[in-house]
Amino acid sequence: MWMVFVLIIWGLMVGTESSTLTSQLEMEANAILNSGWWNTSLAYYDISYRCNWRQISCNNAGSIININIDGLDTSMGGNNFETLNLSTFRNLESLVIKYVGLQGTIPKDIGLLSKLTHLDLAGNHLKAKMPLSLGSLRQLKYLDISDNFLQGSIPHELGFLKNLITLDLSLNSLEGAYGSVYKAQLPCGKVVALKKLHSFEAEVPSFYESFRNEYMEKGSLFSVLYDDVDAVEFKWRKRVNIVKGVASAISYLHHDFTSPIVHRDISSGNILLNNEWQPSVSDFGTARLLQHDSSNRTIVAGTIGYIAPELAYTMVVSEKCDVYGFGVVALETLMGKHPKEILSSLQLASTQSMKLCQVLDQRLPFPNNAMVLLEIIRVAVIAFACLNFNPSSRPTMIRVSQSFATELTPLTVPLNEITLQQLMSEELKALFHIVNH
């Protein structure tokens, strides 16, 4: 009798759980239908197959975890945000609706999305104030509501977002990717990067005070490299550590989100340095959330000299575009100038026979510490691997970060005799654990 009772209870629990899941999926489907955002009269937008739509992805249970609508979705422009019942999407992890002319205000029930880690509403026509409920998104790591028509002060509830890494609140699209970056200290003490705003009324003292000083006191990596006084202070260990830090930051964008984020403008001008010579990858105005089931075609964005060559003819953006930009920055950091001459003649025997010591920044003395020189050689090997003309032959950024974390192995050849050709060899790539993925 007791066993029968247990089985009945278990059956009721399973039935209830199944019923709850079915109810959740039905609510999500109804929210999609009632929003009017998708033309469900078209065969492609059959609501039963919503998990296969370009703008939506689901978990194994069929619940929506990702909504990604960008400027490519021209048929979805001008929708009102409030017609989408956000409260039904309890499993949503990433919400990207950018540059589609989204109207209305940011709904208060956005705060119910407790699993949300990525929120990007940039480039729309959203008005009124930021809802206080944004402070309830405790898992949020990336918040971009730039280039809208929001008014009022930043709610102090943002101070509850202790996982927040990137915050972009800029209102002027002209400043977008190139605006000044300031330090903003949230009430909890968390320091985040905040783009220069078009207009800003700060009622929170910690925000107001932060605007008196630039966030990254050293400025950009570009400005340091091209200033003879700063460049001399920019010793080899500092340069190597900055390259490592940038690699880690890009790896985070590519591999630590539900969908990879491709920056699309990795350049020395977009790497900011603080007083401790610690780097931050800045300017996400060109960033793009990748969808692996779509073509990811795009207009060419980025800084001339750092754009991956394949974008010129394929127009397809991928993580390997950032890998190429990183390779340019890494080599530029070692050389003290943009490596355009080397990149344009890399296939020539005369270039390949050049020694590494000939291309290093001549404003600094040649490193006399063997371990420092070995670190420099590793950076150079990784840089050239990232600059491979074939994107599939470039390493992933997580592989680059892992390579920097491995213990250095002494070389059998004189370090000051190493040529560029040797730096590009499979032997040295294997030695430093740079393999193609």
Q: Give the residue numbers annotated as catalytic, written as ranges.
A: 265
**Which letter does DSSP use for residue 306 in this model?**
T
Strands 279-281 and 271-273: antiparallel
- CA-nearest of 221, 220, 177 to 330 is 221
- CA-nearest of 279, 166, 144 to 216 is 279
Can you spell out the DSSP letters for 340-369?
HHHHHTTTSHHHHTSBHHHHS-TTSPPP--
C-alpha span between 30 and 26 (Å, rounded): 6
| 299 token code pair | 């207009």
Q: How far apart are the first and last CA of the chain?
A: 59
C-alpha span between 227 and 206 (Å, rounded): 33
- Contact (CB, 8 A) for 208 and 217: no
Amino acid letter, residue 280: S
Tell me the residue length of the chain: 437
**Which letter does DSSP use for residue 317 in this model?**
-
Helix (H, G, I), strand (E, B) or coil at 373: helix
CB contact set of 169 (below 8 Å; sequence gap of 6+): 145, 146, 150, 154, 194, 195, 197
C-alpha span between 319 and 334 (Å, rounded): 23
Amino acid letter, residue 319: E
C-alpha span between 184 and 175 (Å, rounded): 18
Q: Phi/psi at 97 (nearest 5 deg)? A: -135, 90
Dihedral sign for Cα 67, 68, 71, 73, please: negative
- CA-nearest of 167, 186, 57 to 118 is 167
C-alpha span between 32 and 42 (Å, rounded): 14
Per-residue buried b or exposed e for 221-233, using 16+ beta carbons within 10 Å of the residue's own CB: bbebbeeeeebee
C-alpha span between 81 and 150 (Å, rounded): 14
